[in-house]
Amino acid sequence: MLQIHSLTLTRANRTLCSNLSLEIKSGETWAILGPNGCGKTTLLLTLAGLLPTQSGAIQLDQQAITGYSRKALAQKLGILFQHQEDAFPLTVREIAEQACFPHHALWQSPTATQHQAIEQAIHDYELHALAERDIRTLSGGERQRVALACLQVQNPALWLLDEPTNHLDIPHQLRLLQRLKVQGRTAVVMTLHDVNQATRVATHALLMLPDGKWLAGTIGEVITDENLQRLYGCEFRHLNNKEGDAFWVAQ
Amino acid sequence: MKLMPLLLLCLLSLVMLLLSLRFGSTRIEWPIIFNSLLQNESSLSGKIIMDIRLPQALTAFCVGGLLALAGSLQQVLLRNPLADPYVLGTAGGAAVGALLAMLSGFAGIGIMSAAFLGAMLSTLLVFGLARGVSGSERLLLTGIVLAAGWGALVAFILSISPDRTLRGMLFWLMGDLSSTQGVGFGLVVLLASLVLCWLFAKPLDLLTRGETLAASLGINVHGTRWLLFIIAALLTATAVTLAGPIGFIGLVVPHLLRLAGIRLHRSLLPSVVLAGGSLVMAADILARSLWAPQQIPVGILTAFIGVPVFLFLMVQQINRGR
């Protein structure tokens, strides 16, 4: 679905990752891990075509993302931002309706099917009580749920999520991870801070190491005590539960 | 789309139009008003209505609609409800352009074009200087400083202008609706811009939530922004050419309608035009009758309303930011 060819990202004369090449297939869930400021968000924004690439190429369904119109791109990939600030009043339902925008002409209203999808998303993310509230009056976690519901309405084949569990309480985190796990034919790329969440939900991981180096592969291949130590610069040890699942603890 | 508020605003505009015909230096009775509107009334009152009051009321409506629409577009561009063609200096730029054209002996479309150039230059300066800066406060501050600069230029032009044109220029600068030439052209600009912007109502809704978010949902942000820059400058220039820089309409009107629960641009855009038109017609009625037979420039009255609303909005924004 998404192919990255020798992509090099720099920011303020610092190389965030050099020569990154990997392929993300539908059905896969990728976790991007790395310390603060390593370029996780920059990478996601670049993959969404929202930041220009200095070198390297990104292809979505065999076509360079620079060759897509914004609208065609929005039909195929959707992104969850880390911050979203609203200056004007809009209700949660109005915001959910905006997520249909990529799928029809400039002035059209959502169709009956899309209205169903909106209701479904409002239901899935437990937004019923908030549907008519002004977005500016919601808490951080509530806003995060609205943004995730919007992504579900937008319904792209590739989901790019910047710290999707941010602000969410533990039950909502669990439900979200569960939902991401059973996405089926969609592909998910997300940045995370919690190694154990990554191993729980992701099939693959990309570790953004210091000095622009990186490691990519299946969870089993790349999530090891040594790699995590290289990544974060602190010692890691893993513990196994009765079922044999591994959990990582920083020392 | 909510139809009820729109119908109410249409009714309000109609009422304001009728009141504009009735009140002024002399009060004209209703039967005479309706007679003159429906059939030719050759009396003096009939002449006053058809030749003076009706064109002036239409000019007031047109200018109000133009400024309110320009204000709502600039608020989207800045993502800040404090934006307004007067506050951002767009109207000031248009005024300087128009005054220079007047001084050089241009008339009609020449003044209009110069006003458009001034408005566009001012817009480009404001948005160019604050490019790449996150947060719209700096943009707003740049606009306010620029507006002061345009004010100084206006004063300079006035001081070198010959005495015979001075009083006319001064009145025009404070908002003067009595010269009604070009109101037909103004109404065409208003209607055409409204239709065009209305087609872009959804991108406008998305742009209010941020450029990156709008882009991620399929908006061509660059192209849409340019379109909005140009239309906002054109609307401002047309309004300024018609009646001088009248302040705060673009600020007050969208804010009041948002408070009334009209949030989406599909409803908001036609509503601001009707409400802006009604507000300037109301201000014009007061300006003509408060000190009758003396007329007060209408811009003075809108400033009396606009300044408290601006300060209130700013305090609200600061409190929310905490």
User: For B16-31, what is each residue's pLDDT tens digit?
Assistant: 999 999 888 788 888 8
> Who contacts B122 (Cβ-Cβ below 8 Å, separation ≥6)?
B88, B89, B90, B92, B93, B94, B146, B150, B233
Angle CA B16–B17–B18, to nearest 5: 90
The C-alpha atoms of residue B91 and residue B143 are separated, in whole angstroms, by 11
For A15-24, write each residue's pLDDT tens digit: 888 889 999 9
For all residues of chain B together, what is the average pLDDT?
A: 88
Q: Is B137 exposed, middle or buried (0-12, 13-18, 19+ CB in 10 A)?
A: middle
Spell B140-167 as b/e; 16+ CB within 10 A means b: bebbeebbebbbebbeebeeebeeeeee
Q: Does B203 touch chain A (CB under 8 A)?
A: yes
Average pLDDT over residues A134-147: 92
Q: Does A154 touch chain B (CB under 8 A)?
A: yes
The C-alpha atoms of residue B248 and residue B68 are separated, in whole angstroms, by 9
Asked if B202's CB is within 8 angstroms of A50's CB, the reply is no
Residues facing residue A247 across a β-bridge: A239
Q: Does A50 touch chain B (CB under 8 A)?
A: yes
pLDDT winner (highest mean) among A190-199, B192-201, B237-246: B192-201
Query: Who among B210, B215, B219 is closest to A84 (CB)?
Result: B210
**What residues of A are in contact with residue B81 (Cβ under 8 Å)?**
87-88
Is a pLDDT exceeding 80 seen at residue B223? yes
For A59-117, write each residue's pLDDT tens digit: 999 999 999 999 999 999 999 999 888 888 899 999 999 999 999 888 788 889 999 99
**What residues of A are in contact with residue B255 (Cβ under 8 Å)?**
none
More confident residue, B188 or A86: B188
Mutation target to probe the A interface, by most A beta carbons within 10 A, among B216, B224, B259, B267 is B216
What is the predicted pLDDT for the residue at B72?
Answer: 96
Is a pLDDT exceeding 60 seen at residue B228? yes
Residues facing residue B34 across a β-bridge: none
**What residues of B are in contact with residue A136 (Cβ under 8 Å)?**
320
Is a pLDDT exceeding 90 seen at residue B97? yes
Tell me the pLDDT band of B80, cut-offs 50, 70 and 90. confident
> Who contacts B188 (Cβ-Cβ below 8 Å, separation ≥6)?
none
> Who contacts B117 (Cβ-Cβ below 8 Å, separation ≥6)?
B97
Å between A84 CA and nearest CA of chain B: 8
Average pLDDT over residues B181-195: 93
Give how far Cα A240 sits from Cα of A226, A237, B70, Å. Answer: 17, 10, 64
Tell me the pLDDT band of B105, cut-offs 50, 70 and 90. confident
What is the predicted pLDDT for the residue at B217?
Answer: 94
Spell B104-119 as b/e; 16+ CB within 10 A means b: eeeeeeebbbbbbbbb
More confident residue, B61 or B312: B61
What is the predicted pLDDT for the residue at A239?
Answer: 87
More confident residue, B285 or B177: B285
More confident residue, B85 or B294: B85
Average pLDDT over residues B98-112: 86
Question: Minimum mean pLDDT among B131-135, B163-167, B296-300: which range?
Answer: B131-135
Q: Does B243 touch chain A (CB under 8 A)?
A: no
**DSSP secondary structure string, A148-188?**
HHHHHHH--SEEEEESTTTT--HHHHHHHHHHHHT-TT-EE
What is the predicted pLDDT for the residue at A158?
Answer: 93
Give percent of chain B with pLDDT exceeding 70. Answer: 96
Q: Does A99 touch chain B (CB under 8 A)?
A: yes
Q: Give me the helix-helix angle, B183-199 and B221-243, nearest 10°.
A: 160
SS (H, E, C) chain B: CCCHHHHHHHHHHHHHHHHHHHCCCCCCCHHHHHHHHHCCCCCHHHHHHHHHHHHHHHHHHHHHHHHHHHHHHHHHHHCCCCCCCCCCCHHHHHHHHHHHHHHCCCCCHHHHHHHHHHHHHHHHHHHHHCCCCCCCHHHHHHHHHHHHHHHHHHHHHHHCCCHHHHHHHHHHHCCCCCCCCCHHHHHHHHHHHHHHHHHCHHHHHHHCCCHHHHHHCCCCHHHHHHHHHHHHHHHHHHHHHHHCCCCCHHHHHHHHHHHCCCCCHHHHHHHHHHHHHHHHHHHHHHHHHCCCCCCCCHHHHHHHHHHHHHHHHHHHHHHHHC
Query: Who among A70, A78, A85 is closest to B219 (CB)?
Result: A70
Average pLDDT over residues B85-107: 90
Mutation target to probe the A interface, by most A beta carbons within 10 A, among B74, B134, B217 is B217
Asked if A101's CB is within 8 angstroms of B217's CB, the reply is yes
Q: Does B201 touch chain A (CB under 8 A)?
A: yes
Asked if A81's CB is within 8 angstroms of B213's CB, the reply is yes
What is the predicted pLDDT for the residue at B178?
Answer: 78
Q: Are strands A214-218 and A204-208 parallel, antiparallel or unpaired?
A: antiparallel
Give percent of chain A with pLDDT exceeding 90. Answer: 54
Neighbouring C-beta atoms of residue A10, cutoff 10 Å: 15
The C-alpha atoms of residue B236 and residue A89 are separated, in whole angstroms, by 25
Query: A116: left (phi > 0), else alpha (psi -120 to 50), else beta?
Result: alpha
More confident residue, A183 or A98: A98
Average pLDDT over residues A4-24: 89
Is a pLDDT exceeding 80 seen at residue A185? no
Is a pLDDT exceeding 80 seen at residue A183? no
Asked if B206's CB is within 8 angstroms of A88's CB, the reply is no
Asked if A89's CB is within 8 angstroms of B258's CB, the reply is yes
CB A21 within 8 A of CB A43: no
Tell me the pLDDT band of B133, cut-offs 50, 70 and 90. low
Query: Who among A50, A73, A101 is closest to B202 (CB)?
Result: A101
Is a pLDDT exceeding 70 seen at residue A201? yes
What is the predicted pLDDT for the residue at B132?
Answer: 57
CB B264 within 8 A of CB A98: no
Maximum CA extent, chain B: 64
Give how far Cα A6 sits from Cα of A3, A20, B117, B144, Å. Answer: 10, 5, 47, 47
Asked if A136's CB is within 8 angstroms of B263's CB, the reply is no
For B29-39, write each residue's pLDDT tens digit: 888 888 888 88
What is the predicted pLDDT for the residue at B135?
Answer: 60
Give percent of chain A with pLDDT exceeding 70. Answer: 99
ipTM entry: 0.89
Tell me the pLDDT band of B267, cut-offs 50, 70 and 90. very high
Is a pLDDT exceeding 70 seen at residue B310? yes
Question: Minimum mean pLDDT among A107-121, B204-218, B307-321: which range?
Answer: B307-321
Determine the 3-state secondary structure of A118 from DSSP.
Answer: helix
Number of residue pairs across A and B with CB atoms under 8 Å? 77
Give how far Cα B255 sits from Cα of A89, B145, B272, B299, B313, Å. Answer: 11, 23, 9, 19, 9
What is the predicted pLDDT for the residue at B70?
Answer: 96
**What's the gap between Cα B76 and its chain centre?**
16
For all residues of chain A together, what is the average pLDDT?
A: 89
